[in-house]
Structure 1
Amino acid sequence: MNHGFLKVATAIPHVKVADCTYNATRIQALIEKASQQDVQIVCFPELCITAYTCADLFHQQLLISEAENALRNLVKETAHLKIISIVGLPVKVGSRLFNCAVVFKAGEIIAVVPKTHLPNYNEFYEKRWFVSSKDAIVDSVELAGQRAPFGINLLIGKVDFRFAIELCEDLWVTVPPSSLHSIMGAQVIFNLSASNEIISKNDYLLSLISQQSARCMAGYVYAGAGFGESSQDVVFAGKGIVAENGRLVAQADRFSFEEQLLVSEIDIELLANERQKNTGFAQDSTALFPSLPEYRLIECSVPEIETFVLSREVSPTPFIPAGLELDKRCEEIFSIQIGGLAKRFVHTQSKIAVIGISGGLDSTLALLVTVLTFDKLAMPRKNIIGITMPGFGTTGRTYKNAIDLMNSLGITIREIDITEASLQHFSDIGHSEDIHDVTYENTQARERTQILMNVANKEGGLVIGTGDLSELAMGWCTYNGDHMSMYGVNSGIPKTLIRYLVTWVANHKVSGESAATLHDILDTPVSPELLPMDENDEIVQKTEDIIGPYELHDFFLFYMVRYGFRPAKIFYLAQHAFEGKYTNEVIRKWLKTFIRRFFSQQFKRSCLPDGPKVGSINLSPRGDWRMPSDAVAALWLQDIERL
């Protein structure tokens, strides 16, 4: 598959009730349209060849035979196409009528899957016309002149990719068939449905689909009946939904009077990595279902795509939720940070916090967390000792912001200039203050950490760490300098998210001088301020000019650690996410930088201070990430060189 993606579509055709010829014509048109868009598997609604709302007409043998004839013609007319199609129709087996999904490709019927759970309550009367798959006594059927496998225990595909099918109500029961299909290896579930519309039902359905795709660590493609179905007693809105591992990837327009073809992709590689990482996925599940039915693999190759084009959106900020979810997420993150720090103070019985305040984003977030923690513990803010430690590169802007923020928040302020101490140290070790190398920079970082630690010892307090997840990934911290603390509240927060958290506090939690100061801090370039400022008192050492944009590195970090993607796929996704902002050459350059630094700086992560895991990614060897410090990056760098 193309970078691990499977291109799927959910199709909602116009139908006429009981007009099989017309319906098959509309289905064929959408199959051809999907094929032209390089769709590999397309799914149609339940009973789409006859329409779902035929009611007692399902007892008319003419309708059943014409449905079979329509299927025969549909299979024949699309035989020249490589696309896999899934349609719904009533299938008579002996004296029993089943509500079925039929899978076909290139003129061959691949499989026939009957519905298991037949709704027979409220507006539904399916048991009046159909029998359940549980009543089947054969494992193959003669249909449209072909013999095909029959049953619910069918996996379709090859060894490296398999999909399975359930129909409408099957999803709504306590243990959906898709749960068993996934345990047995299905990576994508296709659901042919005819769920009608009532108030709030769609929200519930979206929740079901999202949760089932998450529970099964699978893709879920849902096609629901739409315009043309009878509205005698109910209305069908035409629902097309694609979900992946708990995330709704794409949705069609409900209540559209037009035919719809919703095309999207499912990341099969992502799902495989998730299942591999979650070792309890298959182990525990098979223990719960010791009498699983024997499944059959029906071989069917997925058509290849010569020129693959990704249609789904790739967010450039994967750590940051969109829309209204962001406010809720910010509050939750602060609650996690506050909960972790509060427990540490309660456990140690310490009443004092010591924190270095630079006027930058990281120390600002750490201070805000500490202030909110003290408020929640009913401890006075004056017990927070904020220390500003100006040095060779401290600008007037950051110094003023540090002082103003501490003043506005009502904490204890101390100022300790590190210039003389650093100069004395240069003299002691024989280093020239004119040589602005790593020794020059790290001396300052370690001096600041030494001050914080010793003040904490003197006051009986805890040093609150300010370093963030992105810095830990890049190793952009001084070993035994700002790398150290007694509790690192930001260790699980990436740099791109910190900006949103500080903005959220400025807009929702503080006002006046505090809010104004926070907004100016947000506008200040990210810098460790370890090199002298220029003649205009401006920052010279801008972090992103040196190691690259944090938004790129956070993107690389997310997809490498969260999903285990190789650099080639990360590069491909980044091209889509940052199209128009960064060239391919720029992305490739900083991706190489990220890989090199991520591997070479592992030793700093191997001895991290304690800190709370906040999101799905954490680099603490105790919380999430275990990697030898002497692992080499050769394979990953070679993958980049092949781009």
Structure 2
Amino acid sequence: MGRKVTLATCSLNQWALDFEGNLTRILKSIEIAKQKGAKYRLGPELEICGYGCADHFYESDTLLHCFQVLKSLLESPLTQDIICDVGMPVMHHNVRYNCRVIFLNKKILLIRPKMLLANYGNNREFRWFSPWSRPRHVEEYFLPRMIQDVTGQTTVPFGDGVLSTKDTCLGSEICAELWNPRSPHVDMGLDGIEIFTNSSASYHELRKADHRVNLVKSATTKSGGIYLFANQKGCDGDRLYYDGCAMIAINGDIVARGAQFSLKDVEVVSATLDLEDVRSYRGERCHPHMHKPYQRIKTDFSLSDCDDRCLPTHQPVEWIFHTPEEEISLGPACWLWDYLRRSGQAGFLLPLSGGVDSSSTACIVYSMCVQICRAVKDGNSQVLEDVQRVVSDSSYRPEDPRELVSELH
């Protein structure tokens, strides 16, 4: 009997309302996940439309285009034989929800709406979405005709349910739900759910990565389990920078991690883990769940293979955090690059007064050029293409950050 599962999560540089580009990056992440042997792929929050759509969430066209992208995903050969978990807004009973849509082999398994919205700091989710306020309740959602034509389904489960495969059980959290004192993973773990997933659009703040890592580790330290964290990266059109940090943990240990600051548009993190490690860990700690159980959406699919005895499992890794000085240098630099390449401009105008403001900005621009040169040297063809477009020279190849600074004017 199979017990080892290979799972993938990712950080994607999605652009608000760039439906075609977002689709391409989602498909690329699924392709990479399958190449790594994963049977489940998790993506960032609202990855189909982008997180920073602001009042465009009010427009019916935004919802329409999201379903058009979902249709393309369902029809793609790349999405076959892997459970895909994507994020998009969905309107149910004339109420707009921030949702996960989980599908397999042209069938939608579950639409899971966000229950605890972020409405603090730079977040204003209550402006565009309503929270799902019925814990452990699942009802029918009538699919649009374009999706019915692909899936052959008229309705699908919608609500706070979990996915039960032939070998394990998965439950979803969405971004801020991990940070809430009533995080769903607590009750899910007590109800026997073994894999927790979190799709986020978590923007960069100084030392925030420390909090994310500690929350993910603590989520599985108390009652065991596997935790997947996905995140947006880059500047999706707003003033915020999303800094990645995709990760996978088991029983309180991080076993796979992505970069915090990276110029890659698509970064996929995967891990092979043993479900028996979760069951053994829980055998000493967990007690029967006394509340109403989660409704399990049964799926005729296995995340593990029958012959997996020789498959090596991932071991704990140490997370090396950036210093505050490194974060100050890298975060704004990555934001500047994303803003520059998307704006269509040829560079920056930086008046140098000799004061601390202009001097600091000049240092950050130089840091940006260091990251660009390093990415090109590492073979990032997208960064090279973007640089050549910005400087209007298809033969240009940046090698020296000081030289590149002089080109961005």
Residues 1:243 and 2:249 are matched in the alignment = yes
Choose the corresponding residue for 1:156, options 133, 158, 164. Answer: 164
What residue in structure 2 maps to residue 362 of structure 1?
none
Displacement of 1:246 in angstroms is 0.5
What residue in structure 2 maps to residue 116 of structure 1?
115
Residues 1:224 and 2:231 are matched in the alignment = yes
SS at match of 1:149: strand
| 1:34-53 alignment runs, 5 A limit | 34-53=33-52
State the AA in 1 paired with 2:287. A
For structure 2, the residue ranges without an aligned partner over 5 or more in a row are 321-409
| 1:516-595 alignment runs, 5 A limit | none
State the AA in 2 paired with 1:76. E
SS at match of 1:202: helix
For 2:312 and 2:235, locate their aligned partners in 1 and report how far apart those are by CA, in whole Å: 29
What residue in structure 2 maps to residue 134 of structure 1?
133
* Cα deviations by residue, 1:534-579 (Å, 9 ceiling, x for unpaired): xxxxxxxxxxxxxxxxxxxxxxxxxxxxxxxxxxxxxxxxxxxxxx
Choose the corresponding residue for 2:277, options 248, 270, 275. Answer: 270
Asked if the contact 2:4–2:305 (Cα under 8 Å) also holds between the matched residues in 1, the reply is: no
* Cα deviations by residue, 1:375-402 (Å, 9 ceiling, x for unpaired): xxxxxxxxxxxxxxxxxxxxxxxxxxxx
For 1:272 and 1:307, locate their aligned partners in 2 and report how far apart those are by CA, in whole Å: 20
Displacement of 1:101 in angstroms is 0.7
Q: Paired residues, what number?
A: 309
For 1:202 and 1:77, locate their aligned partners in 2 and report how far apart those are by CA, in whole Å: 34
Asked if the contact 1:79–1:107 (Cα under 8 Å) also holds between the matched residues in 2, the reply is: no
Residues 1:282 and 2:281 are matched in the alignment = no
State the AA in 2 paired with 1:140. E
Q: Which has the higher strand share?
A: 2
What residue in structure 2 maps to residue 463 of structure 1?
none
Displacement of 1:51 in angstroms is 0.7
State the AA in 1 paired with 2:215. L
Residue 182 and residue 314 in structure 1: after superposition, are their counterparts in 2 closer, same or farther (change >3 A)? closer
For 2:58 and 2:224, locate their aligned partners in 1 and report how far apart those are by CA, in whole Å: 39
Task: Report the structure number with the largest CA radius of gyration.
Answer: 1
| 1:179-218 alignment runs, 5 A limit | 179-218=186-225
Asked if the contact 1:110–1:300 (Cα under 8 Å) also holds between the matched residues in 2, the reply is: no
Moved >4 Å (runs of 4+): 135-138, 303-315, 321-324
* Cα deviations by residue, 1:124-161 (Å, 9 ceiling, x for unpaired): 10010011111699612133324211111323323x41
Residue 78 and residue 109 in structure 1: after superposition, are their counterparts in 2 closer, same or farther (change >3 A)? farther
For 2:156 and 2:98, locate their aligned partners in 1 and report how far apart those are by CA, in whole Å: 16
For 1:229 and 1:186, locate their aligned partners in 2 and report how far apart those are by CA, in whole Å: 33
Asked if the contact 2:101–2:112 (Cα under 8 Å) also holds between the matched residues in 1, the reply is: yes
State the AA in 2 paired with 1:134. S
What residue in structure 2 maps to residue 18 of structure 1?
17
For 1:181 and 1:305, locate their aligned partners in 2 and report how far apart those are by CA, in whole Å: 25
What residue in structure 2 maps to residue 98 of structure 1?
97
Displacement of 1:80 in angstroms is 6.3
SS at match of 1:127: helix
SS at match of 2:287: helix
Residue 237 and residue 310 in structure 1: after superposition, are their counterparts in 2 closer, same or farther (change >3 A)? farther
| 1:603-614 alignment runs, 5 A limit | none
Asked if the contact 2:273–2:313 (Cα under 8 Å) also holds between the matched residues in 1, the reply is: no
Displacement of 1:253 in angstroms is 0.7
Asked if the contact 1:155–1:181 (Cα under 8 Å) also holds between the matched residues in 2, the reply is: no
For 1:218 and 1:86, locate their aligned partners in 2 and report how far apart those are by CA, in whole Å: 19
Percent identity between the aligned chains? 26
SS at match of 2:133: helix
Asked if the contact 1:217–1:275 (Cα under 8 Å) also holds between the matched residues in 2, the reply is: yes
* Cα deviations by residue, 1:337-384 (Å, 9 ceiling, x for unpaired): xxxxxxxxxxxxxxxxxxxxxxxxxxxxxxxxxxxxxxxxxxxxxxxx
State the AA in 2 paired with 1:296. R
Residue 123 and residue 314 in structure 1: after superposition, are their counterparts in 2 closer, same or farther (change >3 A)? closer
Displacement of 1:176 in angstroms is 0.7
Residue 323 and residue 98 in structure 1: after superposition, are their counterparts in 2 closer, same or farther (change >3 A)? closer
State the AA in 2 paired with 1:85. C
What residue in structure 2 maps to residue 75 of structure 1?
74
Displacement of 1:24 in angstroms is 1.5
TM-score by length of 1: 0.45
TM-score by length of 2: 0.70
Asked if the contact 2:97–2:114 (Cα under 8 Å) also holds between the matched residues in 1, the reply is: yes
For 1:323 and 1:176, locate their aligned partners in 2 and report how far apart those are by CA, in whole Å: 24
What residue in structure 1 maps to residue 180 of structure 2?
173
For 1:42 and 1:228, locate their aligned partners in 2 and report how far apart those are by CA, in whole Å: 23
Displacement of 1:21 in angstroms is 2.4
For 1:322 and 1:22, locate their aligned partners in 2 and report how far apart those are by CA, in whole Å: 34
State the AA in 1 paired with 2:170. F
Please, which moves more after superposition, 188-197 or 134-143? 134-143
State the AA in 2 paired with 1:249. V
For 2:73 and 2:27, locate their aligned partners in 1 and report how far apart those are by CA, in whole Å: 6
State the AA in 2 paired with 1:149. P
* Cα deviations by residue, 1:477-528 (Å, 9 ceiling, x for unpaired): xxxxxxxxxxxxxxxxxxxxxxxxxxxxxxxxxxxxxxxxxxxxxxxxxxxx
What residue in structure 2 maps to residue 298 of structure 1?
298
Displacement of 1:59 in angstroms is 0.6
For 1:162 and 1:322, locate their aligned partners in 2 and report how far apart those are by CA, in whole Å: 28
For 1:132 and 1:216, locate their aligned partners in 2 and report how far apart those are by CA, in whole Å: 26
Asked if the contact 1:120–1:127 (Cα under 8 Å) also holds between the matched residues in 2, the reply is: yes
Residue 263 and residue 20 in structure 1: after superposition, are their counterparts in 2 closer, same or farther (change >3 A)? same
Residue 239 and residue 210 in structure 1: after superposition, are their counterparts in 2 closer, same or farther (change >3 A)? same
What residue in structure 2 maps to residue 533 of structure 1?
none
Displacement of 1:185 in angstroms is 1.5
Residue 243 and residue 294 in structure 1: after superposition, are their counterparts in 2 closer, same or farther (change >3 A)? closer
RMSD, aligned CA:
2.5
| 1:112-511 alignment runs, 5 A limit | 112-134=111-133, 139-143=139-143, 144-145=147-148, 146=153, 147-158=155-166, 160-230=167-237, 232-258=238-264, 259-278=266-285, 281-283=286-288, 286-287=289-290, 290=291, 292=292, 294-305=294-305, 310=311, 313-314=314-315
State the AA in 2 paired with 1:190. T
Displacement of 1:300 in angstroms is 4.0
State the AA in 1 paired with 2:208. K
For structure 1, the residue ranges without an aligned partner over 5 or more in a row are 316-320, 325-643
Asked if the contact 2:109–2:297 (Cα under 8 Å) also holds between the matched residues in 1, the reply is: no
Asked if the contact 1:82–1:303 (Cα under 8 Å) also holds between the matched residues in 2, the reply is: no
Displacement of 1:76 in angstroms is 1.1
For 1:190 and 1:293, locate their aligned partners in 2 and report how far apart those are by CA, in whole Å: 18
For 2:314 and 2:79, locate their aligned partners in 1 and report how far apart those are by CA, in whole Å: 31
